[in-house]
Amino acid sequence: MPETYHAILERAKDSDLGRQAYALVRRGIKGEANCFYAMERGRVVGAPFSMPDVTAEMARYMVQFGCSFMIMWQPDSARQSAPGA
């Protein structure tokens, strides 16, 4: 998943997510919902989101614009209220 990996590296540099990016990836890969979910060229990693508004909005963008890969991160509000955030 080269595009996904590149996007994770770029996002980890971003001040609003920073080092939490890697923790969210690990949590999502372990199966924790609403942290990290990615798909690229038919391969899926992470755990699906159970937030209907987030999922519906992302699905709309995928159909409207098309995409070769997609990453969903835990929303800012959830990260700010998470322990250790």
Instruction: Give residue limits of the domains in the chain.
Output: 2-81
Tell me: pLDDT of 48 over 70.
yes
For residue 31, pLDDT over 80 is answered with yes
Compute the distance between CA of residue 35 and CA of residue 22 in angstroms, rounded to an integer: 11
CA distance 39 to 48: 10
69 has a pLDDT exceeding 70: yes
Output the pTM of the full model: 0.67
How many Å apart are CA 2 and CA 17, to the nearest integer? 20
pLDDT confidence band for 85 (50 / 70 / 90): very low
- Report which of residues 21 and 79 the model is more confident about: 21
| Mean confidence (pLDDT) of the chain | 79
The pLDDT-based confidence of 77 (bands split at 50, 70, 90) is low
Instruction: Flag whether pLDDT at 80 surpasses 60.
Output: no
